[in-house]
Structure 1
Amino acid sequence: MSTPREPLRAQVLQQMLVGPGLPLRRVEVVEESTSTMVELAAARRADPEAWPTPSLLVAEHQSAGRGRAGRSWQTAPRAALLASILLRPQVPAAALTWLPLLAGLATVRAVRATAGVEAVLKWPNDVLVEIPGAEPVDGWGTLRKLGGILTEVQPDGTVVLGVGVNVSQSLDELPVGTATSLALAGAATLDREVLLVALQEAFSQVAERWRDADGDALAAGLADEVAQVCATLGAQVAIERVDGSVLVGEAVGIGAAGELVVRPDGSAHGDDDLVAVVSGDVRHLRLDGGR
């Protein structure tokens, strides 16, 4: 077991995660990476046999980490869990839209199980925690961002899935006021090795159920489980869409492809008025879901 800001032990992670009956086929830990997603994709292209699926690349520090919509993800060295996994999901391509939500579900479960922190999801790919006593922030309330997830489909059909979780950062080490860390959330442990192993095990279990249902998250029961931990559902939201328009309404559900289903303000309450949002930046205007 490691302590905050101590190096991750690659040999320990390999013993716990790589081998028959275990989640992975390869784990590599590097001291620094520009972006684990970029470097893992490049490594796979350069030598596919050396990087079988599933393989994991973990960095102690990222100098140019990537977030959603091209945003940066920066942390102090060894203060966060920064990892990307190379996958070949054995599901129809149309089902891949569920991957960020399923990875988010696994992350929530790992954080709750290891750190004792009641993490929740913000659709489509953020992990949040409630900070009691925090000054409410417009669009966030007292929720703060603990982590994020990003996925990219590669030309060979594999997928690189990146996960970043803030672990031991102090308040002045966080880049924005809407971010937090496990340390600030009062976590029971800040051990990144424990969190990483729990995350990989949780994701492996979720992915197996998803695969066995041929990518049908509804049939697998995973859609309901995602909904149970999604703070966006039941909230009044404002969604800035790709075309620049803003949709305001109540988030009422998650669709068959993982889209956010919204009832626009001023609409009737029939199903014909519902709007399915595939992508967009979501702001929580009011949280009524209590998740």
Structure 2
Amino acid sequence: MTDAIARPALDADALASALLAPRGPLARLDVVATSGSTNADLVAAASRTPDAWPAPSLLVADHQTSGKGRAGRTWETPPRAALTSSLLVSPGVPGDRLPWLPLLAGLAVVRALRSVTGLRAVLKWPNDVLLPAADGVDVAGWGPYRKAVGILVEGLAGGRAVVGVGVNVTQTADELPVPSATSLALSGAATTDRATLLVAQVGELVRILDAWRGAAGDARAARQPDDGPDLASAVADVCVTVGSRVTVDLVDATGLEGDAYGLGAGGELLVRADDGTRHAVVAGDVRHVRTGGAATLGG
């Protein structure tokens, strides 16, 4: 029964203690009971009074009623069943390197989910985070994975951006809109505590963006203090799209099918078509025909 699921409200005071400077990374944190769309609300507020929203600032809603996705898609989740937040950032990188932003946000979410929930989260290019299907059954376009997280990046004046993240946390199967979706609870997460996840997610994202900014937006040169791989390689390592057979619906209404073999210097998805031609996909809807293979970085 869905009414037996524990879905406590977020504790604004506890989140402020963990996330606001000087203890945490944020300059401002607003926790609201309800938002139509945290992205739409934050974009509007930061555009109206930019000085009141220094970067990084976070808006998080206990319940989002009209979430925004790519291509104008909208959705609604049961109250307190999801974690919906939007982070205002100032990337400070050249414009041609901004396409890395949703991929780096995805990397941050993947790392947070893996560390907090114990689940083997992966990234689907360019802005979805997936979890292995609990039933192991393939779904067309997604293979043996299900979507648990959506990411939406929107630009603002002055080079700033809003990074929206929506995580399915405790939804039951009948509360999800499509068979290709899942939630942390359905996937067997070690915890579904939204506050714990939010603190980890924000921390990872701010650290990753600091390293990216420090390398002037060059994801192949950006490294974090732990001396791990560069950020471009780290993204490729968790991106299940790379190494997969894919079909891509391009923005010009044409299609492309082939093997995704790497990521370009600007985060483009590199696809080798069946006729041998190579394509750098900047934007498009990707469907996985077959997953697997090795991730590489291309020119």
TM-score by structure 1 length?
0.94
Q: Which residue of 1 aligns with 2:208?
A: 206
Q: How does 1:192-231 map to 2 (within 5 A)?
A: 192-220=194-222, 221-231=230-240
Report the alpha carbon displacement of residue 44 of structure 1 after superposing the two structures with TM: 1.3
2:129 aligns with one of 110, 127, 130? 127
Do the aligned residues in 2 keep the contact of 1:74 with 1:175 (CA within 8 Å)?
Answer: no
Q: Which residue of 2 aligns with 1:184?
A: 186
2:112 aligns with one of 103, 110, 113? 110
Q: How does 1:38-117 map to 2 (within 5 A)?
A: 38-117=40-119
> Structure 2: how far apart are the matches of 1:46 and 1:8?
27
Report the alpha carbon displacement of residue 156 of structure 1 after superposing the two structures with TM: 3.2
Report the alpha carbon displacement of residue 73 of structure 1 after superposing the two structures with TM: 3.0
> Structure 2: how far apart are the matches of 1:26 and 1:58?
11
- 1:277 and 2:281 are equivalent in the alignment: yes
Q: Deviations over 1:15-52 (max 9, x none)?
A: 11111262111111111111101111111123222211
Q: How does 1:13-52 map to 2 (within 5 A)?
A: 13-20=15-22, 22-52=24-54
> Structure 1: how far apart are the matches of 2:53 and 2:13?
17
Do the aligned residues in 2 keep the contact of 1:254 with 1:260 (CA within 8 Å)?
Answer: yes
- 1:144 and 2:153 are equivalent in the alignment: no
AA partner of residue 120 (structure 1): V
Q: Deviations over 1:66-97 (max 9, x none)?
A: 01111113211101110001111121122111
Q: Which residue of 2 aligns with 1:256?
A: 265
Report the alpha carbon displacement of residue 274 of structure 1 after superposing the two structures with TM: 1.5
AA partner of residue 282 (structure 1): V
AA partner of residue 233 (structure 1): V
Do the aligned residues in 1 keep the contact of 2:103 with 2:126 (CA within 8 Å)?
Answer: yes
Q: Which moved more, 1:211-220 or 1:19-28?
A: 19-28
Equivalenced residue count is 284
Which secondary structure does the structure 1 equivalent of 2:141 belong to?
coil
> Structure 2: how far apart are the matches of 1:248 and 1:4?
44
Which secondary structure does the structure 2 equivalent of 1:14 belong to?
helix
Q: Which moved more, 1:39-48 or 1:164-173?
A: 39-48
Q: Which residue of 2 aligns with 1:236?
A: 245
Q: Which residue of 2 aligns with 1:270?
A: none
Which secondary structure does the structure 1 equivalent of 2:34 belong to?
coil
> Structure 1: how far apart are the matches of 2:180 and 2:134?
14
> Structure 1: how far apart are the matches of 2:294 and 2:70?
26
Do the aligned residues in 2 keep the contact of 1:4 with 1:79 (CA within 8 Å)?
Answer: no
Report the alpha carbon displacement of residue 12 of structure 1 after superposing the two structures with TM: 0.8
Q: Which residue of 2 aligns with 1:287?
A: 291
Report the alpha carbon displacement of residue 290 of structure 1 after superposing the two structures with TM: 7.7
Do the aligned residues in 2 keep the contact of 1:148 with 1:163 (CA within 8 Å)?
Answer: yes
Which secondary structure does the structure 2 equivalent of 1:156 belong to?
helix
AA partner of residue 285 (structure 1): V
Which secondary structure does the structure 1 equivalent of 2:159 belong to?
coil
Report the alpha carbon displacement of residue 227 of structure 1 after superposing the two structures with TM: 0.3
With over 3 angstroms needed to count, the CA separation of the structure-2 counterparts of 1:4 and 1:53, relative to structure 1, is farther
Do the aligned residues in 2 keep the contact of 1:4 with 1:190 (CA within 8 Å)?
Answer: no
TM-score by structure 2 length?
0.92
> Structure 1: how far apart are the matches of 2:99 and 2:233?
16
> Structure 2: how far apart are the matches of 1:148 and 1:248?
23
> Structure 2: how far apart are the matches of 1:169 and 1:290?
33
User: Unaligned 5+ residue runs, structure 1?
Assistant: 268-272
> Structure 2: how far apart are the matches of 1:250 and 1:105?
22
Which secondary structure does the structure 2 equivalent of 1:31 belong to?
strand
Do the aligned residues in 1 keep the contact of 2:246 with 2:259 (CA within 8 Å)?
Answer: yes
Which secondary structure does the structure 1 equivalent of 2:64 belong to?
coil
